Amino acid sequence: MPKVKIPRKSTLIDMTAMCDVSFLLLTFFMLTTQFKPDEPVVVDTPSSISETKLMDDGVVLLSMNKEGNVFFSMTGQNTRTAIIEDMSARYKIPFTEAQIKKFAKMESFGVPIAQLPALLDLKPEDRKTFVQPGIPCDTAKNELVGWVEASMIAYSAEKSVKPKIAIKGDGKANFPAVKKLIDALQSKNFNTFYFITDLEANPNKKKEG
């Protein structure tokens, strides 16, 4: 009886095509990723069940560390240039051309406006170690609301939509500090804002599933 021979085939597969695809994906993800900007504050946000994501653009971000110091940040270099020019005129504090350029590049800060020129003159590496005392937002000296108003005007002029206000507070910050910040915003009728939180499982959904 003749034997039926099964022809031996190699188990090796050409990986070139697969390699192409995976590197294409890798390049795509690397280019689309936005790295977290340097923040002068460490904020450990509390969690909530809210699933609404924070948008990338058009957010006035007010961070509060656990000591209750408030920091301001706003996206967009052009917007920031407009903001500082507005604030400079409001508080009659002159900024040099170089300082304005540096401010446009700085993501976030937390000093009273009188100290801002000095902070901008520091080298970037010294700026990291500089302890920023936060922006004053009490009723006597409410600079924070000035920054918020200036960014509202600057952003609306650029994109013709109003930016949203987001508060990113540390879970350990005490209530009077939060209250002070909210009161500062409400003094100029900013009544709607976001609280930035981490995601937490929704107990209602857990029961259903």
Binding site for other proteins (CB under 8 A): 10, 12-16, 18-19, 22-23, 25-26, 29-30, 32-33, 36, 45-54, 64, 66-68, 166, 168-179, 182, 186, 189, 191-200, 202-204
Residues whose CB is less than 8 angstroms from the CB of residue 93 and which lie 6 or more positions away in sequence, other chains included: 87, 113, 114, 116, 117
Query: Half-sphere exposure of residue 148, counting CA atoms within 13 Å on the CB side?
Result: 28
Task: Indicate the residue among 45 and 81 with the shorter CB distance to other proteins.
Answer: 45
Q: What is the CA radius of gyration of the chain?
A: 25
CB of 3 to other proteins, least distance (A): 24
To which residue do tokens 């006035």 refer? 60
**Cβ closer to other proteins: 102 or 180?**
180
The smaller minimum CB distance to other proteins, of residues 88 and 134, is found at 134
3-state secondary structure of 125: helix
Nearer to other proteins, 90 or 188 (CB): 188
Shortest reach from residue 202's CB to other proteins, in Å: 7
Longest Cα pair distance anywhere in the chain, in angstroms? 106
User: Token pair for residue 199?
Assistant: 């995601």
Smallest separation, CB 42 to other proteins (Å): 12
Min dist. Cβ of residue 1 to other proteins (A)? 31
Q: Specify the 3-state DSSP secondary structure of 183.
A: helix
CB 177 within 8 A of CB 64: yes
- Give min distance, CB of 153 to other proteins, in A: 21
Core vs surface per residue 49-72: b (16+ CB within 10 A) or e: eeeeeeeeebbbbbbbbbebbbbb
Please, which residue, 36 or 92, has the CB nearer to other proteins?
36
Q: How far is the CB of 12 from other proteins (least distance, A)?
A: 4
**Residue 66 or residue 127: which is nearer to other proteins going by CB?**
66
